[in-house]
Amino acid sequence: MLATRLVILGKQGAGKGTQAIRLCDYFGVPRISTGDMFRQFMKGESEIGERARKYVEAGDLVPDEVVNEMVRERLTELDAADHGFVMEGFPRNVPQAEALDDMLAPHHVDLVVELDVPTGVVLRRLASRRVCSHCGFNYSVDAPPKANWTCDQCGGAVVQREDDTEEVISRRLEQYDKQTAPLVAWYLTTDRLAAVDGEGDPDTVTRRLLRAIEGRLARK
Ligand code: AMP
């Protein structure tokens, strides 16, 4: 069976979550978002949630061994093992990318897309971002859900993320520059990266992404 394995990179607020949901619908694959997984674990009383909490709350990266183990387990579930995935928020540094290659062998990531958006734009988007606390669907104060801050998709409460404060956002962007930006160069050297302009309305960005991805899958 032909599986599709995609990774989306991009700064916080670049639109990774919104675009990942659309790409999952299009390709019929599950979305694997490590940020969402941590937020779900932190709601309950799990060991992973407890180990991750202080890092997530401070805007720091959770240690690699915790996140790698969580992803490794997720990838053994049949939906991802059989059909592939759109992964978002992982990998976040070169050691995680090496671990991902190892988890997927003998398969590999088909394409890594970097959603390119200037920092000034992501700061504006993050200040107005609101998310469904249940399914992770993204809204903003300018484009809220239809009724009473209740998610159009699942009825969950739509809220501001606790790490979307000015102080934590600047910490997360700093981590992106330090740890995740070098990944772009790393994937480029192995010819697995496509940079896609992430500015503009979501439909336009989705069309750009699909053009880049389908061009690559045709060469598979
Ligand atoms: P996100 O929703 O992707 O912005 O992730 C929210 C938070 O979860 C991050 O600020 C980190 O604390 C943690 N996190 C998510 N993915 C990873 C990862 N791949 N490696 C380390 N920490 C992560």
- Residue 23 in any domain: the answer is yes
- Residue 51 in any domain: the answer is yes
Interval between CA 127 and ligand 1 midpoint (Å): 18
Residue 78's domain comprises: 4-115+199-217
Give pLDDT tens digits for 47-71: 999 999 999 998 899 999 999 999 9
> What CATH number is attached to the domain comprising 55?
3.40.50.300
Report which secondary-structure segment, H or E, holds 65: helix 64-75
Catalytic annotation on 92? Answer: yes
pTM of this structure = 0.90
Q: What is the pLDDT of residue 44?
A: 87
Catalytic annotation on 16? Answer: yes
**Is the minimum distance from the CB of 38 to ligand 1 under 6 angstroms?**
yes
- Residue 12 in any domain: the answer is yes
Round to whole Å and give the CA distance between 4 and 213: 10
Round to whole Å and give the CA distance between 146 and 194: 35
- Residue 190 in any domain: the answer is no
Catalytic annotation on 124? Answer: no
Largest CA distance in the chain: 48
Kindly name the residue from 5, 11, 16, 31 that is annotated as catalytic: 16
**Is the minimum distance from the CB of 139 to ligand 1 under 6 angstroms?**
no
Q: What is the pLDDT of residue 217?
A: 85
Question: 106: Cβ–Cβ under 8 A, 6 or more apart, which residues?
Answer: none
State which ligand 1 atom lies nearest to the alpha carbon of 38.
Answer: 8
What is the average pLDDT value for the chain, to the nearest integer?
Answer: 93
- Residue 76 in any domain: the answer is yes
